[in-house]
Chains A and B, each alone.
Chain A
């Protein structure tokens, strides 16, 4: 692959990102890229800086150094809601659903950046406001069908079991129809069956909708099975980057995960 094609192929690139909070360095000189249409895993032991990395991409944290390129353009100091408009959606490690709202409303909220009708039309619920509501409802219903959550459509999400909440959260991120989907430990705390379902959804999203996916996950079986490329972080530094097989056999990675004797 020559360079021109390659750079065109890259959806997101972080270059030399350094992030510190006071004296604590969270990320140090991290660079990697995410290609269009791939499933990219970010792994590493606890405290490695994985979630910090996602927060930098999302615009929650602003790195002291480094550049973020998204869709061929450099991105300057952006607030999270502006990043959302660029086409980056995300799920959280600890479920961050809108607990007082129904599944349907959670998913509809996911499409909020695509809604335009002004407040006067919304007040009377006619014209553009009603049309928009129906149009987005149709798209949301497709996602509900895709995730097989029809039966909980009108249940407040606070009442749902954990596995279902995770699924609704994925649905809310999907509803935004983003270019890049960031999943922060989508399978954490799930049993085998739920994990299998979730893996299926992640792969289907990737294949059917063509969404690029970056995920953080601790279950190595899952990571090695579903991701195209893996980047490994440890103590804020990049240890390795490559295909699952390369990473699996990397000496530094094995040491970081298993520990190494100091003799």
Chain B
């Protein structure tokens, strides 16, 4: 009754091809973005920054990246952790070599470096498909982490073998290092996430997205209509790694501050991002956000309810979290195998007709 498209006429193809064809959606998303930029920075404190907002934003970006590769182009990858490490170490090397360089450029360059690395590790995808490709990308995960542990040049020969983010200013405000105010780090990440989510949406609804999906759905037919398989797959690897690289750079610079590669970018991170997009919805930008929020926030929420609310001991709750989150994953996958984004899509379809059944 409230959510409808009647009366919302499209008189040109440009209008018909909008990201949000329904006026109510546009208004809603506009309000959310305005709220995130204009209101949240005034309310944010250290806890919300470090425990909720930053990780969700950064994981969303990584999930969008993997979703482009796996959800849109159908190439399963378990190398996400490794590629995030590339982004992190690239940003470290660049910002220590050129301390004056603007941090926006540093992060973008790190994405560029990761993109090139992604192309190299994407080369086997022409010959290997499905689970076998997943195993091949696993090699990149282990190789890259090993590389950053073994070659001292990457961590500037520091004694601990760790890298730590130096303090850097953007418009006179620190966004990395221990003195960065929560609102600054939050806005820095939010800017990247909003801009790159929009770019991802534009890419996936245009020529590149169609050629990726064509390769995913039916590679033989894709070839016959002129989609070059190698070029298309490598472009997906390249764009995907760019996103994951940016996420890795932000993860290190803004969120963690100090990083030890085995710990921060291990195989568990690759699985985490893969689960995010499966739960959220393969082939959906919105699903990347929902998946990241679900996988990251659900444990936080459960912990707050049981420890904060009921006063249970932390170790019992830690076990409970595993059980509850695991159960929820199974529940949602049975209810909707195509992910939470699909659940949302179905709800919208129903809402458009509500209160009528047909």
Binding site for B on A (CB under 8 A): 58, 60, 79-81, 83-85, 89-90, 92, 96-101, 105, 108-110, 112-113, 115, 117, 119, 122-125, 129-130, 133-134, 137-138, 141, 172-173, 176
Report B32 CB to chain A, min CB distance, Å: 20
Check B203–A123 contact: CB distance below 8 A.
Answer: yes
Q: Chain A residues near B283: list those with CB within 8 A.
A: 100
Check A119–B208 contact: CB distance below 8 A.
Answer: yes
How many A-B pairs with Cβ below 8 Å? 105
Q: How far is the CA of A211 from the CA of B207 in the complex (A)?
A: 25
In order of increasing CB-CB distance, the 8 nearest A-B pairs are: A84-B226, A113-B226, A96-B221, A98-B217, A80-B223, A125-B202, A123-B199, A109-B210
Check B17–A112 contact: CB distance below 8 A.
Answer: no
Check B13–A119 contact: CB distance below 8 A.
Answer: no
Q: Digitize B264-308: 1 where CB-to-A-CB distance is under 8 Å, 0 elsewhere.
A: 000000000000000000010000000000000000000000000
Check B223–A176 contact: CB distance below 8 A.
Answer: no
Instruction: Kindly state whether residue B334 has any CB partner on chain A within 8 Å.
Output: no
Interface residues of B in 206-237 (CB under 8 A from A): 206-208, 210-211, 213-214, 216-218, 220-229, 235
Q: Which bucket holds chain B's interface residue count? A: 20 to 34
Q: Chain B residues near A172: list those with CB within 8 A.
A: 225
Q: Chain A residues near B205: list those with CB within 8 A.
A: 125
In-complex Cβ contact of A58 among B203, B208, B224 (8 A): B224
Q: Chain B residues near A173: list those with CB within 8 A.
A: 225
In-complex Cβ contact of A81 among B17, B206, B223 (8 A): B223
Check B227–A112 contact: CB distance below 8 A.
Answer: yes
Check B225–A84 contact: CB distance below 8 A.
Answer: yes
Report B144 CB to chain A, min CB distance, Å: 25
Q: Chain B residues near A96: list those with CB within 8 A.
A: 218, 220-221, 224
Instruction: Kindly state whether residue B97 has any CB partner on chain A within 8 Å.
Output: no
Check B207–A112 contact: CB distance below 8 A.
Answer: yes
A–B Cβ pairs within 8 angstroms, 28 of them: A60-B220, A81-B226, A81-B228, A89-B225, A98-B214, A98-B216, A98-B217, A98-B218, A98-B221, A99-B217, A100-B213, A100-B283, A101-B213, A101-B214, A101-B217, A108-B210, A109-B211, A109-B213, A119-B208, A122-B208, A125-B202, A129-B202, A129-B206, A134-B13, A137-B17, A172-B225, A173-B225, A176-B225
Q: What residue in chain B is nearest A158 (Cβ atoms)? A: B217
Report B337 CB to chain A, min CB distance, Å: 13
Report B330 CB to chain A, min CB distance, Å: 24
Q: Chain A residues near B208: list those with CB within 8 A.
A: 119, 122
Contact A137 to B13, CB < 8 A, known contacts A97-B218, A109-B210, A125-B206: yes
Q: How far is the CA of A81 from the CA of B214 in the complex (A)?
A: 13
Check B202–A138 contact: CB distance below 8 A.
Answer: no
Report B212 CB to chain A, min CB distance, Å: 10
Interface centre among B13, B211, B227 (most CB of A within 10 A): B13
Report A248 CB to chain B, min CB distance, Å: 32
